[in-house]
Amino acid sequence: MEMETAEVSGEKKKKKGIVVLLIGPPGSGKSTFCDSVMKSPQRPWSRICQDIINKGKAGNKAQCLKMAIESLKEGKSVFIDRCNLDRDQRSDFINLLGGGPHVDQVHAVVLEIPAQVCISRSVKRTGHEGNLQGGRAAAVVNKMLQSKELPTLNEGFSRIMFCYSDADVDNAVKTYTMLGPMDTLPSGSFGLKHSDTKSQQPGIMKFFKKVSALPASSSSSNEKAATTPEANEKIEDVRVSPAKLGSVVPTLAFPSISTADFQFDLDKASDIIVETAEEFLPKLGSARLALVDLSHGSKILSLVNAKASRKNIDLERFFTFVGDITKLHSQGGLHCNVIANAANWRLKPGGGGVNAAIFKAGGPDLEAGTRARANTLVPGKAVVVPLPSTCPLRNAEGITHVIHVLGPNMNPNRPNCLNKDYTKGCKILREAYTSLFGGFLSTVEDQSKLPKRNNQATMSDSGAEDSERNKKYKGTQDKASTNNMESGDIGKKMSKGWRSWALALHVIAMHPERHENIVLESSDHIVVINDQYPKARKHVLVLARQEGVDGLEDVRREHIQLLEEMHNVGMKWIKRFQEEDASLIFRLGYHSVPSMRQLHLHVISQDFESDHLKNKKHWNSFTTSFFRDSVDVLEEVKSQGKANVESEDVLKGELRCNRCRSVHPNIPKLKSHIRTCPSQFPDHLLQSNRLLVRPETSN
């Protein structure tokens, strides 16, 4: 731990500074903003003000740039306290400082305070360091406002924060005040109103209405009026859509699981957080993960930051953030559509910390939504709860889903204490983060054009016919989501991130008596059905009826008897099919990662004559190492306690003949070739009964 602390300390020393350009006319509050932030000792700041840069007198831009570079070399972050009203004024600071060796990011804080307020403040102030006060202030402000141009991300800013009121400014001050030496802020454009989006487009300038000077005696009342809703255009303050600016992406904000009340070792927890995040980021497209804590001195944030940096993880997509997880948007400018709750096993409000805060913020809607999906939660699992439009968390913060997750407990005063068994504890904590990120992945898929996946990988079992399967199984899944399942069952399914249609096989396996029209055979342990979209002349599925065995990754030694029964049933069906047609050749196997929940064995003939075999994923999922032969799975589980699974990357490989391994450019040409290919099957398939033919039939 001492070594880790030293490494974290080293990271702090190497941390680059942030450059923040304050953008606003005189009287908008730029200097007050800087002074407020700089009172905090959390991060060293330097204020660069052109009004006093020349030994207390007004200077020029070059002097500001020089002082900024010197401050950055000293390890400080800097505020550029100038008006910075148009693109040209900002460009030198962005270009010269943004690419410097001591700069991490360049931000903009835009003080879009009503013109009347700025003029009122400028007119009535005395002793201003730039001597802009009294009667002439109104004319100067008016002239500046006529040429003001709002900043855009394509100027080179990594983050822009818009403030339209004193409350917005206070939130921005809190954001930068809470920023510690190791902390970073998420990139993007935050707080922009709909009425200003057009002015954010390149080449379009926003002009402010010219305002007359205000009599000093009336400045107070006018300032008050200008900040009321009646004085401003009443438009909802929301983020700009990704289609417009590309800056808002699905984001999960999550607390550190089990490290507070459950007293899990921080060093071990930080390893698991970083490793699981690294595993999931490639699957999440552009979506982001944000680890959140209330404290600037948070040890878990420092550890995760240091370890993520050493792994070169993209800090734009996996980052830490200091703030209240229920107010990240309104108080911190961080837009998160999903937040995680470190829940208790009862899934009820109470206690303290994150659980109490999130249930309080979510109100009755969150409680009702939770009860509809699960009554309890076991360690290592998560449950996704969508929030209705009436929920306060959705209205105030833009949160669409809360994911409850339960980790392992090392606190002897709390239930299910593991008594410092970190072998088991680390396994459960890793499972908890996997369930959490998998649940988030399911919400990302629902709201984006990412390829549909199951809880941890791209769907490969059925590929393009998934939407067709959705329709085909609609009656089944409708029942699954209503009276066929108890809320606890639904919670377990949702906890792994399965989309609703992907539960159809599970429903059939658990209740075959309700699906007599499609069930070919059933027993206490298995159900046999035809694949609804067969990839060959004969293609049936043998479903396991055991709860909790969703796919090959869940299989362990205790499932050997089940696997053997599934294999034997598959063999029986092959014999039946070959009695009808002796030319049929079969393989028995599992997909490494299934698209539908419930372990199922494919019994498929090797002719692949089917209109449903349409694309590369279909073909490669049955003819590459992604397809795990049943005999190999049985041997591996017996010898090593689990089955090997292949990466989904093999699904992207070339289209090769399953006999001669020749390459073909598309599915039609491949199908034409395999109908007449004279070659035998590869040697490895001819061994150990991986390929099943009638004894009297030659290959």
Chunked into runs of 10 residues, the chain (699 residues) has average pLDDT values of: 40 70 90 90 89 85 90 91 87 79 88 84 71 67 79 85 89 86 78 57 34 34 32 29 45 94 93 94 90 85 86 84 88 86 89 88 92 88 90 89 95 88 95 94 69 35 43 44 35 47 85 86 93 93 91 92 95 93 94 92 95 93 95 95 91 92 92 92 88 70
Beta-strand relationship, 188-190 and 318-322: unpaired
CATH number at residue 223: 3.40.50.300
529 touches 540 (CB < 8 A): yes
What 3-state DSSP class applies to 275?
A: helix
Q: For 465-479, what is each residue's pLDDT tens digit?
A: 444 444 444 444 444
The per-residue pLDDT for 135 is 61
Q: Which helix (H) or strand (E) holds 397?
A: helix 392-397
Shared domain for 548 and 425, answered yes or no, is no
**pLDDT score for 97:** 81
Shared domain check, 491 and 424: no
Residue 366, judged by CB atoms within 10 A of its CB (0-12, 13-18, 19+), counts as buried
Shared-domain flag, residues 312 and 442: yes
Is the Cβ–Cβ distance between 278 and 472 less than 8 Å? no
- Residue type at 343? A
Within a domain: 10? no
203 Cβ contact partners less than 8 Å away, ≥ 6 residues apart: none
Range of the domain at 208: 15-245
Q: Residues 203, 347: one domain?
A: no
Residue 698 lies in a domain: no
**AA letter at 138:** A
- Domain total of the chain: 3
Q: What are phi and psi of 591, to 5 degrees?
A: -75, 140
Catalytic (active-site) positions: 600
Q: Which two tokens stand for residue 609?
A: 């004559």
Query: Domain for residue 258, yes or no?
Result: yes
d(CA 166, CA 434): 41
236 and 257 together in one domain: no
Answer yes or no: is 1 within a domain. Answer: no
CATH number at residue 262: 3.40.220
Is 112 found in the same domain as 44?
A: yes
| 437 and 331 inside one domain | yes
Q: Which pLDDT value is given to residue 340? A: 96
Count of other CB atoms within 10 angstroms of residue 123: 21
Token pair for residue 465?
């016919």
Residue 699 domain flag: no
| Boundary of a domain, candidates 396, 413, 447 | 447
Same domain? 563 vs 534: yes
171 and 75 co-located in one domain: yes
Among 209, 224, 245, identify where a domain stops. Answer: 245
pLDDT digits (tens, 9 = 90+) for 342-371: 999 889 887 778 999 999 999 999 999 998
Residue 167: its pLDDT value, please?
A: 86
CATH number of the structural domain spanning residue 528: 3.30.428.10
Contact of 157 with 126, CB cutoff 8 Å: no
The predicted structure's pLDDT at residue 183:
77
Q: Which residue has the tokens 């067969």?
A: 534
| Structural domain includes residue 321 | yes
User: Can you give the pLDDT at residue 374?
Assistant: 86
Long-range contacts of 688-692 (CB under 8 A, 24+ apart): 688/629, 688/631, 688/632, 689/631, 690/587, 690/629, 690/631, 690/632, 691/585, 691/586, 691/587, 691/606, 692/571, 692/574, 692/585, 692/586, 692/587, 692/588
Please indicate, yes or no, whether residues 317 and 385 belong to a single structural domain of this protein: yes
Q: Is residue 5 part of a domain?
A: no
Strands in 50-207 per DSSP E: 77-81, 103-111, 159-163, 188-190
Residue 527 maps to a domain: yes
Tokens found for residue 23: 């953008």
Q: Residue type at 331?
A: Q
How far is it, in rounded angstroms, from Cα 353 to Cα 367?
17
Q: Quick one: 356 and 488 in the same domain? A: no
Whole-model pTM: value is 0.39
Q: Could you say which of 390, 419, 447 is where a domain stops?
A: 447
Both structure tokens of 623: 């003819």
Residue 178: per-residue pLDDT? 83
Amino acid at 326: T
Residues 298 and 403 reside in one and the same domain: yes
Amino acid sitting at position 576: R
